[in-house]
Amino acid sequence: MISTRVGESIPPNTKHAVSVCLPTWESTVGYEEGKPEVIESLTTGYPRFFIHKTIQRLCQVLQDKYAKENETCLCFPSYEVAKRCREYIAVKTVSTNNNVSAPKVRILQLATSKPVTPEEAKWKRESKVAVVFVDRQYWPLMKQYWQHSGEILSSRLAEYVLHELFIVEKSSKTRQDRESRVEVRDEEEFIEQRFGRNLDFSYSDTAKSLIKRRIATKVVDGEADSQEEPPRTTEQFTEHVVDAEDVTPGVASTVPAEPCHEPSSPATRTSLQVNPDKDVYLFPSGMASIFTAHRLLLHLDAQRVQRSRLSQHSTPLTSRQSSGIQSPLPRELIGYGEPYKKTVMFGFPYTDTLSILEKFNHTYFLGSGDLQAMDELKRILHSGEQILALFMEAPSNPLLKMGDLIELRELANSFGFYIVVDDTAGGFVNIDVLPYADIVCSSLTKIFSGDSNVIAGSAVLNPQSKLHNFAQTFMEQQYEDCLWCEDALYLERNSRDFVARTLIVNQNAERLLNKVLIPQEGKLFKKIYYPSLTSEETKKNYDAVRGHQGGYGGLFSLTFYNMNTAKAFFNALQLCKGPSLGTNFTLACPYAIIAHYQELDRVAKYGVESNLVRVSVGLEPEHELCDVFQIAVDEASKNI
């Protein structure tokens, strides 16, 4: 079922959806410009950009109960995360306003009660949330931390906390409002049980273990699973009713789980042995995994900085203090510029990855991500400057460019920096990048889940990396499992057939491009970006790390000769349109508009043109996809 109404969830009627319908070019522009008719229609949105309405309600209740005059608040999944948000607010306030003291930021930690019986443990779990209170003028900084770091509160967790702590208490809401919330929750629980998806919280740890084993199995290239299940198609999206006695613990599904093997195979590219328990980590979003990888590297560099400071001073100093500036910032501040080494962003990335590198430290942005960028990187390295790490996407989003990971690995070994790869656009099945990376980060929200109803991420440590021992120690000391149990249950169910779904998405994308779109390149389309089409350089670099059963993925981008043609093509597409990618259904968006509306001229310099349309291919029957895109091609051709 296609979402067609501005602001409705994608998929329709999905309470915890991670995409929202913006069905026309004009509605997307209206969203970016904050037009009331669009903003007021939003029922949901991508969770790092749109604060879910359940989270909004929880924050309003907490604000009514605990806020001081002119304070606002936002909830985070742990006290440590809240402290990092507080630090970010302090750093950005002081750095942009000389001689201004850091604002007062209060943190309130709340906890729900523990289950007292095994039966209660099936639906009850102790959970903690940390609430950051700050003067309203600093709300944009708090929201920035939420968006950039990805250390966000799950909307399902907010729903649970709201119910457990406040559903029976008096608040600013009327009794009728409270009763309606109870009725809604009761109805949802009934639907869950009716459709065989009853949530057994006690199964969540097992679900997380299964997820990590699936990732560990597929993050290194191996033979196809002999018992691989056939992929779902769009006709199979609706859950089937099952009898209560047939429901397994956790979240039942009509799709059996793919067999999990230990991540070893005689056909693997290397002898990598990924330990699911010690090398794979789960996060509340893909961006949180990248943020944690960056934090890990900064903590490694902090050892060098500390040694340097101790050799010059009897007590550790912050960078501002060492330069003679009295600072209100915490003495243990790590990152945020000198004296910490710079990172390198290799290639044009998803917007918040670059924001992490720039706003939490400093970085070289080598946006072309090609041979020119490689030459610039070599110039930096040969100048004698030491860099901390290189971050890259494999391939990049939205231009589907692929850097030379093999040469980058050789440079990293020679010059002593580390490599973090985000393989979200490529995926575990299609590419095998762990041998060349120290850490591989992924958004599990995308093809791994597919159902567009849960947000999560993962980080995998390369056991052969020189960083491995430090990384494991860092994780043992500082990693927090902030993936809420309900989200883990949904993710485990959704990911049972992710390999098979990936294979059919690859096939659908290739055939759609070959039959309908490639013949229009140079006529309707100015350029088609896809790993096999972007450039000979990209194809060579992609093929060098391509898995033995991997394809080129389901993501491609189109640019046009003029804006009117782009608008006509996009508006004529009869499919779901909104943010995100890797969904089981085909999804499109005018990417530059939705991701870079305030900086269109800047990103155009890197090839991200304002008329670019990004498409994420799904599981629909091939002939249906071809028909839908042919209609859009025919309509847009009228504007040539």
The SS3 assignment for 439 reads strand
Determine the Cα–Cα distance for residues 133 and 56; give it in Å rounded to an integer.
14
Q: Which span out of 220-224, 350-354, 527-531 was modeled with the highest average pLDDT?
A: 527-531
pLDDT tens profile 398-455: 999 999 999 999 999 999 999 999 999 999 999 999 999 999 999 999 999 999 999 9
pLDDT band at 232 (very low <50, low <70, confident <90, very high): low
CA angle centred on 160, ends 148 and 459, rounded to 5°: 40
The SS3 assignment for 19 reads strand
Amino acid at 107: I
Report the percent of the chain where pLDDT is more than 70: 84
pLDDT tens profile 160-205: 999 888 764 444 444 445 444 444 454 455 344 433 446 789 899 9
Determine the Cα–Cα distance for residues 549 and 565; give it in Å rounded to an integer.
37
The structure tokens 């009716």 sit at: 194
Q: What is the pTM of this model?
A: 0.89
Closest residue by Cα to residue 584 from 7, 200, 14, 156: 14
Max Cα distance, the chain (Å): 74
Cα-Cα-Cα-Cα torsion 60, 65, 67, 70, nearest 10 degrees, comes to: 70
pLDDT band at 309 (very low <50, low <70, confident <90, very high): confident
- Which two tokens mark 89? 């607010």
- What's the pLDDT at 123? 87
- Which two tokens mark 143? 């929201």
Mean pLDDT of 300-313: 86
Beta strand 555-560 with 525-529 is antiparallel
The SS3 assignment for 639 reads coil
Q: 497-638 has which fold? A: Aspartate Aminotransferase, domain 1 (3.90.1150)
Q: For all residues of the chain together, what is the average pLDDT?
A: 87
- Which two tokens mark 82? 């809240």
Query: Does 319 score more than 90 pLDDT?
Result: no
Q: Which residues pair with 615 in a beta bridge?
A: 556, 588
Give exposure, 254-267, as e/b (b: 16+ Cβ within 10 Å).
ebebbebeebeeee
Closest residue by Cα to residue 596 from 6, 27, 32: 32
Query: Does 457 score more than 90 pLDDT?
Result: yes
Instruction: Answer for the pair 627, 596: CB distance below 8 angstroms, yes or no.
Output: no
For residue 166, give the DSSP letter: I
- What's the pLDDT at 330? 52
The structure tokens 């491995």 sit at: 468
- What phi and psi values does residue 64 have, to the nearest 5 degrees? -60, -35
Q: What is the 3-state secondary structure (H, E, C) of 250-316?
A: CCCCCCCCCCCCCCCCCCCCCCCCCCHHHHEEEECCHHHHHHHHHHHHHHHHHHHHHHHHHHHCCCC
Domain boundaries, the chain: 44-172, 280-307+335-495, 497-638
The SS3 assignment for 588 reads strand
Beta strand 387-393 with 418-422 is parallel
- Which two tokens mark 546? 């391509």
Query: Does 238 score more than 50 pLDDT?
Result: no
Query: Does 468 score more than 70 pLDDT?
Result: yes
Mean pLDDT of 89-110: 87
- What phi and psi values does residue 460 have, to the nearest 5 degrees? -120, 130
**Total Cβ atoms within 10 A of residue 624:** 15
Q: Which residues pair with 106 in a beta bridge?
A: 133
pLDDT band at 251 (very low <50, low <70, confident <90, very high): very low
CA angle centred on 251, ends 291 and 203, rounded to 5°: 70
For residue 162, give the DSSP letter: I
Q: What is the 3-state secondary structure (H, E, C) of 187-250?
A: HHHHHHHHCCCCCCHHHHHHHHHHHHHHHHHHCCCCCCCCCCCCCCCHHHCCCCCCCHHHCCCC
Mean pLDDT of 340-344: 97
Radius of gyration of the chain (CA): 24
Query: Does 597 score more than 70 pLDDT?
Result: yes
pLDDT band at 270 (very low <50, low <70, confident <90, very high): low
pLDDT band at 237 (very low <50, low <70, confident <90, very high): very low
Query: Does 216 score more than 70 pLDDT?
Result: yes
- What's the pLDDT at 99? 61
Determine the Cα–Cα distance for residues 231 and 497; give it in Å rounded to an integer.
7
Its sign, for the CA torsion 378, 379, 383, 388, is negative
Give the range among 236-245, 304-313, 338-347, 585-594 with minimum mean pLDDT.
236-245
Mean pLDDT of 46-52: 94
Amino acid at 49: F
Q: What is the 3-state secondary structure (H, E, C) of 49-72?
A: CCCCHHHHHHHHHHHHHHCCCCEE
Determine the Cα–Cα distance for residues 49 and 31; give it in Å rounded to an integer.
12
Specify the CATH architecture of the domain 280-307+335-495. 3-Layer(aba) Sandwich (3.40)
- What's the pLDDT at 223? 47
Query: Which helix H or strand E contains 469, and what residues bound it?
Result: helix 468-478
Give exposure, 166-182, as e/b (b: 16+ Cβ within 10 Å).
beeeebebeeeebeebe
- Which two tokens mark 41? 């229609």
Instruction: Answer for the pair 635, 605: CB distance below 8 angstroms, yes or no.
Output: no
**Total Cβ atoms within 10 A of residue 73:** 20
Query: Which helix H or strand E contains 321, and what residues bound it?
Result: helix 319-322
The structure tokens 């849960």 sit at: 454
Give exposure, 330-353, as e/b (b: 16+ Cβ within 10 Å).
eeebbbbeeebbbbbbbbbbbebb
Query: Does 612 score more than 50 pLDDT?
Result: yes
- Which two tokens mark 185? 């929750």
Query: Does 14 score more than 70 pLDDT?
Result: yes
Beta strands, E only, 525-586: 525-529, 555-560, 576-577
Determine the Cα–Cα distance for residues 254 and 252; give it in Å rounded to an integer.
7
**Total Cβ atoms within 10 A of residue 601:** 8
